[in-house]
Structure 1
């Protein structure tokens, strides 16, 4: 029996809580089409153990973008990403499945489960930073949200919301008051320095290289393709958003492309 017809199915606990019916449908379709070992991990340690015991079976993750990211990160750190393809059955809220949509995974439980059974593995790149964190999609360093006068002093929660709003917005032309001072290097070539404020930076992997775009304050863009990109900020550091996760502040960070590092099963 081929690996495609021997599955280990990891069902994320968040998916079970959010949409138990889609989880049940996915499980029924997968079990009807293959010899499937169903795992119900309750936490990161159980999730990692289930991955470690998958053997030669095709691994199917039932959950949202973060469940897929957890699987890829775990396998990367164990240096086992090359031991077979991963498949995803997306289950979660719409905003938690943006990566799945971008990668081309069907969003319906039935269509995604059938793709996991019948699809073909496609090699994809990874971005890996110097803290061993993995990025499957794109990362963005947007400009800080401008501070506006308020009739009352800002609360802690209000400040946090302001930071999050700034992180989800795409870079756009902004005034100097809300621009970043960032040093951006692509394979050692300087694209921007701290003395030239920018509106933001975006990075995505494609064709084995990091595609870097520095967004200028007045709409201009500087582009480069490189194997590694390093972004440094001022003393207070900078925040960034990668695969919907907000991280930082950090003073400097380097992301390196791992070409064809993992394999995702997609519809044929």
Structure 2
């Protein structure tokens, strides 16, 4: 069992509960790494033991990335108990977010083979890739949310300005607004540089293909229909852009290609109800 140091510091009680549940049903070897290098070494020295990681989405992503770089991902069955601030990725994959339920699924669950995306810099995406990266609260990066303030004309003016920015944020090269990008799926151009886009999302859908959704830029009050595509390879190019892959923001880059790896990794999830 590899416990992320952030999880130990921020929610030691949940870590203790997970350890008690797991030790009641299995023989554990406890690893308490203090940083990324020690975390990687703990995984690589697992021997025949099945690794269980305790931490948030970044911990899960770090474990998969380490095993992928060492070319040991396909031969490893991974389990996770979500503990920490952001666990939406683990939840989207089917892992229970309750500590007790997640620990019990480690003991009694079944392994599932899952797809992932691998980019041309050897980075991995388990859940959703998004361009431009969303802020932690879901608003476009670089736009500040303003609370409601009825009765204050100056604040209503600010709110009006923010709504305008959200509808048509500036075209910048730092990933904070719409951009002119070329998006190709399996070699076919879905959108080209002449059409500004607000968002591009790419998600492995479990069939050896990725689902791609592109939302063209629309004016205030207008709704542009999203462009949808599916394929094994997605290439995005154009002006410098940033992207969020699961819990990590990367870039800026001029071009990046993601390829679907079918059944690339194995995760223990709750057994289906009978």
Q: Matched residue of 2:103: which SS?
A: helix
Distance 2:134 2:103 in 1: 41
Q: Matched residue of 1:58: which SS?
A: coil
Q: Does 1:131 align with 2:134?
A: no
1:208 is aligned to 208
Per-residue deviation, 1:259:
0.6
Per-residue deviation, 1:32:
1.2
Q: Is the 8 A contact 2:91 2:97 kept in 1?
A: yes
Q: Matched residue of 2:59: which SS?
A: helix
Alignment length, in residue pairs?
236
1:246 is aligned to 249
Q: Note the aligned Cα RMSD (angstroms).
A: 2.2
TM-score (norm 2): 0.81
Q: Is the 8 A contact 1:56 1:84 kept in 2?
A: no
> Equivalent of 2:52, from 57, 60, 72?
60
Query: Where is the helix percentage greater, Structure 1 or Structure 2?
Result: 1
> Equivalent of 1:42, from 26, 34, 38?
34
1:255 is aligned to 258
Distance 1:116 1:80 in 2: 20
Q: Matched residue of 2:89: which SS?
A: helix
Distance 2:61 2:142 in 1: 21
Distance 1:106 1:86 in 2: 15
Q: Does 1:223 align with 2:223?
A: no
Per-residue deviation, 1:84:
2.7
Cα gap change, 1:244/1:143 in structure 2, threshold over 3 Å: closer, same or farther?
closer
> Equivalent of 2:89, from 80, 99, 103?
99
Please show how residues 79-228 of structure 1 align to structure 2 within 5 Å: 79-93=71-85, 96-142=86-132, 163=141, 165=143, 174-175=167-168, 177-178=170-171, 179-206=178-205, 207-218=207-218, 219-228=224-233
Q: Is the 8 A contact 1:143 1:180 kept in 2?
A: no
Q: Is the 8 A contact 1:176 1:197 kept in 2?
A: no
Cα gap change, 1:162/1:202 in structure 2, threshold over 3 Å: closer, same or farther?
closer
Distance 1:143 1:78 in 2: 28
TM-score (norm 1): 0.83
Instruction: Return 239-248 or 256-265, whichever deviates more.
Output: 239-248
2:8 is aligned to 16
Query: Any gaps of 5 or more consecutive residues in structure 2?
Result: 145-165, 172-177, 219-223
Query: Any gaps of 5 or more consecutive residues in structure 1?
Result: 1-8, 146-160, 167-172
Distance 2:251 2:195 in 1: 22
